A = this chain, B = another copy of it.
């Protein structure tokens, strides 16, 4: 079954965190998101907005398209 967009995003965020050795809390601090919200995104529980994805991409210093590469 092909991955949903939420699953692609969650997987990429986990990968980028792992590459940097960041916890969810560290990503929250770097992006300005609430720590609980990072977990919600990684569990695919909400439909994240593009403005939130932009904050995450900036925290990782990657182009936003990198967050959705399958």
For the complex formed by this chain, how many copies does it contain in all?
2
- Say whether B70 contacts A63, CB under 8 Å: yes
Binary per-residue interface labels of chain A (21-64) against chain B in the complex, 1 for a CB within 8 Å, 0 otherwise? 00000000000000000000000000111111110010000011
Instruction: Please report the total number of A residues contacting B with Cβ < 8 Å.
Output: 22
Cα separation A47 to B55 with both chains bound (whole Å): 12
Q: How far is the CA of A70 from the CA of B54 in the complex (A)?
A: 13
Question: Can you list 9 A-B contacts (CB < 8 A)?
Answer: A5-B57, A47-B49, A47-B50, A48-B50, A49-B49, A50-B50, A64-B68, A64-B70, A65-B66
Query: Which residue numbers of A lie inside 8 Å of B, CB to CB?
Result: 4-6, 8-9, 47-54, 57, 63-70
